[in-house]
Structure 1
Amino acid sequence: MAGHSKFANIKHRKGAQDKKRSAMFSKLSREITVAAKSGMPDPDMNPRLRLAVNNAKGQSMPKDNIQRAIDKASASEGDDYKEVRYEGFGPGGVSLIVEALTDNTNRTVTNVRTIFSRNGGNMGESGSVSHGFERVGYIAYPASAGDEDTVMEAVMEAGGDDIQSSEDGHEIWTAMEDLHEVAGALEKSLGEAESVKLAWKPSVEVEVDAAQAETLLGLIDALEDDDDVQAVHGNYSVSDEIMEQLG
């Protein structure tokens, strides 16, 4: 997604996300617990856990909630979750990748397929769209972090690969294996990021019109509302004008 478009989408859905903060914290806790179970329960010794904790902090998740999620893993509590990925299509030929953590794959795949079909999309086979994406590291900063030149200089010094800046904020891309190192260096120069995570970056973007965008954002919101879905990635681009209309 183009930098300005992604931030516009984030702003467009921020109100809805605020209302669903409890559900968001639940998903973040699940990822933290799974990450802690996958290795050491110490973020300094477990890159995946460090990433999950940093992302939770970026979403203003309370420290007590984060620690409880880590302690849950240490106590071997909770269900065992499996990581699954689904691929599909939205209006206008947009490609979507849906990442989930589930303790019941039959339930999750049924729910995701139903959400696609009821919201103007259709689920595809595994590998049907992921070939058009690259797995990368993603870091987001608000516009208040600095002007484009200041942030670009910090990104270059930190070893980031690419940056897209707009009046809404800054999107920074890194090689997947460099994410933790780059994020750490940027935190020293720019402060805490809004988001630090692994993402799917599209090689080609699809521009969608107003009608397609409205249906597409509805589909994405419905997918994100599912308890098992952790993230939705797409290759769409929406103009600021259309986002303002939909806002």
Structure 2
Amino acid sequence: MAGHSQFKNIMHRKGAQDARRARQFAKVIREITVAARSGLPEPASNPRLRAALSAAREVNMPKDTVDRAIKKAIGAGGGEDYVEVRYEGYGPAGVAVIVEALTDNRNRTASDVRAAFSKHGGSLGETNSVSFMFQRLGVIVFPASAGSEDDMLEAAIEAGAENVASDAESHEITCAMESFFTVRDALEARFGEPRSARIEWRPETTTVLDEEKARAVLKLIDVLEENDDVQAVYANFDLPDDVAQALAA
């Protein structure tokens, strides 16, 4: 029975990983679609498309899948028309939450997001109800092997970045949203392709959570991220080391 249970657990994990990978692909394909339609279908002339292709490489999307997505986006009919929407609200323990989505049906997505907040101890607010607690920043991450801490700092400053945080695994460069593509391209020319490069919401202040509240907040975020229309979820909470370890156990 133990072996059987272990096998079922492995199959369950594999199924969950496959489902997560499928959702990641679907979200990236939507971003590629919108990016390809927002400008020229050539990455060199379309910064948003370059960022979308970087996201595709980050989730190991096959090149032929990427190519099909671009061709479908610019082809006759072009498939679905997606619009960008942002939802803001409060989760459990008063944690501020921002949800970014690409949808072909605003009513469906708004209903799903509102239901997720209500069911998991939160409340959906008006646009700009929590975004004032966040900064919109460009975030570029390189593996530590890309260059030394000093070289990365020097290059980031020259490129116009605001901050560099380096550790044993990576270099994280942050910059103003308006400078994102300039900074990314300058660093990529010197250090090669970054591990990831995207524009994010970063909280200016955070709420420290205990284990019980952290589980509630993370459950809400999980439910939101499982929605096919949702591209990204940001929240202003912080976890002490012992809570993070308990959640990872």
Question: Scaled by the length of structure 1, what TM-score is found?
Answer: 0.86
1:208 Cα deviation (Å)? 1.7
Closer, same or farther: CA 211–168 of 1 in aligned 2, 3 Å: farther
Q: How does 1:67-82 map to 2 (within 5 A)?
A: 67-75=67-75, 76-82=77-83
Instruction: Tell me which residue corresponds to 2:85.
Output: 84
Measure the CA separation in 2 of the matches of 1:137 and 1:110: 30
SS in 2 for 1:108: helix
1:185 Cα deviation (Å)? 2.2
Measure the CA separation in 2 of the matches of 1:135 and 1:18: 31
Measure the CA separation in 2 of the matches of 1:35 and 1:20: 23
Q: Is residue 58–residue 196 contact of structure 1 (8 Å, CA) maintained in 2?
A: no
Instruction: Tell me which residue corresponds to 1:7.
Output: none
Instruction: Tell me which residue corresponds to 1:199.
Output: 200
What residue identity is the alignment partner of 1:65?
A: T
| Number of aligned residues | 233
1:149 Cα deviation (Å)? 4.1
Q: Which moved more, 1:59-68 or 1:105-114?
A: 59-68
SS in 2 for 1:67: helix
Q: Is residue 92–residue 120 contact of structure 2 (8 Å, CA) maintained in 1?
A: no
**Pair member with larger Rg:** 2
1:143 Cα deviation (Å)? 4.3
Backbone CA RMSD of aligned residues: 2.1
What residue identity is the alignment partner of 2:184?
A: A
Instruction: Tell me which residue corresponds to 2:28.
Output: 28
Closer, same or farther: CA 96–80 of 1 in aligned 2, 3 Å: same
Q: How does 1:25-174 map to 2 (within 5 A)?
A: 25-75=25-75, 76-145=77-146, 148-167=149-168, 169-174=170-175
Q: Percent identity?
A: 51
> CA offsets, 1:23-81, max 9 Å, x none?
10111011101111122111111222122112222222222221111111110421111
1:224 Cα deviation (Å)? 0.6
Closer, same or farther: CA 120–144 of 1 in aligned 2, 3 Å: farther
Instruction: Tell me which residue corresponds to 2:221.
Output: 220
Q: Which moved more, 1:45-54 or 1:106-115?
A: 45-54
Measure the CA separation in 1 of the matches of 2:192 and 2:103: 33
Q: Which runs of 5+ in 2 are unaligned?
A: 1-14
What residue identity is the alignment partner of 1:56?
A: A
Q: Which moved more, 1:142-151 or 1:26-35?
A: 142-151
Measure the CA separation in 1 of the matches of 2:17 and 2:243: 20
Instruction: Tell me which residue corresponds to 1:5.
Output: none
